[in-house]
Amino acid sequence: MKQVKETLLIELLTEELPPKALEKLSTTFANEVLAALKEQALLSEGSVLTPYATPRRLALSITEVLQQQPDRIVERKGPAVAAGLDADGKPTKALEGFMRSANVVMTQLSRSGEGKAECFVARIEQKGKSLDEYLQDIVTQALKKLPVPKVMRWGDSEHQFVRPVHGLIVLHGKRVIKAEVLGLTSGNVTSGHRFMCSEPVTITHADDYEATLARDGRVVASFAQRRESIVARLDDLSEQNSAIWVGHANFDLEKLLSMSNEERSVLSSLLDEVAGLVEWPEVYVGEFEKEYLGVPQECLILTMQQNQKYFPLLDASTGKLLNKFLIVSNMQVNDPRHIVQGNERVVRPRLSDARFFFNQDRKQKLESRVKKLGNVVYHNKLGSQLQRVERITTLTGTIARLLQADKAKAELVARLCKADLLTDMVGEFPELQGIIGRYYAFHDGEDLEVANAIEAHYHPRFAGDSIPLGAVACSVALADKLETIIGIYGIGQVPTGDKDPFGLRRQALGILRILIETPLDLPLPALLKATAENFPKGMLSATVAADVEGFMMDRLRGYLRDRSFEVSHTEAVLAVLNGRLHEVLPRLQAVRGFAALDAAKDLAAANKRVQNIMRKNMEELGAAMAGAVFDANLMTDDAERNLHQSMQDIAPFAQGYFSRGDYGQNLKTLVTLKPFIDDFFDQVMVMAEDQKLRINRALLLKQLGTLMNQVADISKLAA
């Protein structure tokens, strides 16, 4: 009998779903149904999944879904052989129970695995069931697995879902599969656009779902297509207005604003949200009075984006904000004036609030707000924001002095850097902290470097963000991040798994990037120790500096892995780096070049052998070696004399390259040692019976190890 294969369509019609979560709800639902069908062998090799999502529906279609399962052999694992047989080799009660449940006898069982893992297996022939028998349970279970933090009940129903439900379609080709889900009985009728479609929409065939819904229901079922059409209209209207919309791929808004979600740009998050708010998208141009442009453009952009879901427009040539914005509407009409005017009327109060906050805030200087930070609790174990600012200021002075920066200016930035937390503008838009502080500092008459550093001390705020520029800004940025990570870590608030409520991983990466990418010659262990000592005695754990260093080294390994450095190269460099992170990238690049040389593998193996010999000698002759000094007169073999002489010949060059930071040339000089090292190990017995000779040869190898491992511990490059 020929197997029937048709497209399967499932649609759940609902009230408006959460727009920010819509795409995730859709993909999860679709993937769960697909996985369940695959598990039941109801899919063909050519089956294709297409998820659909609109504000009022979750749907999916899967091509070539079988109407009937093929007959198949199902394997069921039973008890372990050791537990299934008694001492006489007869079935135990556990095995007998398994055979009854599987409806098999002993002769029908086979064994799988080896040793203690060997178990009995029953292979059972299972007659194929129809798609109809599985589908109701598959849909029900898939809906239960959606990432929904809260569910609701509606009317007098006992059913629960993220929103009330109104309709269910389950079609296999033209055939309606009978199913009951969330109190709904399946059919082939759905609703179209809430305002532009008054009649029910009938889906006659699963393959026609998307086209029928668009034609008869004025609904674009595909989330991705709606998003693409929105982008196309945004681009088109921007070009007509000689502008570029904020969030466009050519405009990096991340340079202006810190994002609420570090991993996604405003482009993605706002587009996803508006695509989740409309079923038949259209874009219109709105305007506001030019007088509002006197407010910092970051404030206006946030107001329009966060509160109204608009896309502000920037002048394409200057990058300055225009008094225009783009509205994504759920209505396509011939005369959109009432839609545009309504949105313009709504946005004015928002812009007026931003202007009011901006004007009111500037009536008080940032300096006057600093003392009031004493009334704001930073953390109940770490004191107030003012106490925190005082710690940051002290640490900033220490770092500025090490960097030979203007200490007084850096300390002024540190003192003012959190004052904008008490402004109305930051109260309304927390994302503007630092950004608005820069504007207010400049308004107060502060030096431009001071104003810029107030904003820059939060950088980098997310992956890919810029780092602070200049010694003053770097001093404050490091002090702020170090104070945070040492303080929070020191009171036991250590990140676990995916939980990192204080963003310590982000703070650690920020410190690493500033030290590495600026670069700054500030040893990390010393910075952590100075930071810990800046807190009152007994406030933090005694080992916090060492604990945080270990935590940051793990972050450093991840950072270097993301930059495509091999793990063995990283470990080789970190073994000798001593916290001087500004050298990590040039050293790694040198090691990468060295590892590509033909001689590198043999030199790494030799270095590893040297270290093993030294370790063994220290274990066996530790006391005797402690005060020993290498004596060239004790050398008795030509091979060791030649090795010693070759080391003396290249040492000045190697040291010179190392001192100048030319790590690649330093490592390349080691290649000339290879034949002398080979001869030494071939001809010289290091572990000689004569203890003086043995110690002297070990000391020679110690000198060799020191010479070879200036840039990195190359023994870690050995396989």
Q: Which of these three, 361, 384, 414, is where a domain ends?
A: 361
Residue 404 domain-assigned (yes or no) = yes
The DSSP line for 533-552 is HTSPTTSS-TTHHHHHHHHH
Q: 81-95, 274-288, 508-522, 582-596 — which is least confidently predicted?
A: 81-95
256 pLDDT higher than 50: no
Q: How far is CA 287 from the centre of its chain?
A: 37
> Which pLDDT band, with edges at 50, 70 and 90, does 2 fall under?
low
Structure tokens given for 520: 């700054």
Same domain, 552 and 472: yes
Residues 550/489, Cβ–Cβ less than 8 Å: no
User: 515-544: per-residue pLDDT in tens?
Assistant: 999 999 999 999 999 999 999 999 999 999
Same domain, 28 and 62: yes
Same domain, 196 and 234: no
Residue 289 domain-assigned (yes or no) = yes
Q: Tally the domains of the chain.
A: 5
Q: Which of these three, 176, 195, 217, is where a domain ends?
A: 217
Higher pLDDT, 537 or 73: 537
Same domain, 516 and 402: yes
Place of tokens 């270990």: 550
How large is the average pLDDT for residues 101-115? 87
Mean pLDDT of the chain: 91
Measured CA to CA, the distance from residue 643 to residue 645 in angstroms comes to 5
User: 339-381: per-residue pLDDT in tens?
Assistant: 999 999 999 999 999 999 999 999 999 999 999 999 999 999 9
250 pLDDT higher than 70: no
How large is the average pLDDT for residues 539-559? 95
Most confident among 404-413, 609-618, 693-702 (mean pLDDT): 404-413
Structure tokens given for 399: 């770092």
Residue 233 domain-assigned (yes or no) = yes
Q: 278-292, 600-614, 650-664 — which is least confidently predicted?
A: 600-614
Same domain, 196 and 299: no
Residue 297: which residues within 8 A CB-CB, separation 6 or more? 256, 320, 321
pLDDT score for 306: 87
Place of tokens 């770097």: 474
Most confident among 38-42, 394-398, 597-601 (mean pLDDT): 394-398
Same domain, 397 and 523: yes
Same domain, 608 and 711: yes
612 pLDDT higher than 90: no
Residue 568 domain-assigned (yes or no) = no
Identify residue 684 by its one-letter amino acid code.
Answer: V
Same domain, 166 and 80: no
pLDDT score for 251: 46
Q: Residue 709 is part of a domain; what is its CATH number?
A: 1.10.730
How large is the average pLDDT for residues 285-306? 93
Q: Which of these three, 341, 361, 381, is where a domain ends?
A: 361
Same domain, 354 and 398: no
Residue 269 domain-assigned (yes or no) = yes
Residue 587 domain-assigned (yes or no) = no
Question: Which candidate, 257, 259, 253, 302, places its Cα nearest to that of 506?
Answer: 259
User: 160-174: per-residue pLDDT in tens?
Assistant: 999 999 999 999 999
Q: Residue 440 is part of a domain; what is its CATH number?
A: 1.10.3210
Same domain, 599 and 635: yes
Provide, rounded to the nearest whole percent, the portion of the chain with pLDDT above 90: 73
Q: Residue 47 is part of a domain; what is its CATH number?
A: 3.30.70
How large is the average pLDDT for residues 533-559? 95
Higher pLDDT, 126 or 241: 241
Measured CA to CA, the distance from residue 142 to residue 331 in angstroms comes to 32
Same domain, 235 and 350: yes
Alpha helices in 111-222 (DSSP H): 131-144, 209-217
Q: Which DSSP category does 4 fall into?
A: P
69 pLDDT higher than 90: no
End-to-end CA distance of the chain: 59
Residue 662 domain-assigned (yes or no) = yes
Residue 583 domain-assigned (yes or no) = no
Same domain, 265 and 118: no
User: 168-198: per-residue pLDDT in tens?
Assistant: 999 999 999 999 999 999 999 999 999 999 8
The range of the structural domain enclosing residue 405 comes to 367-563
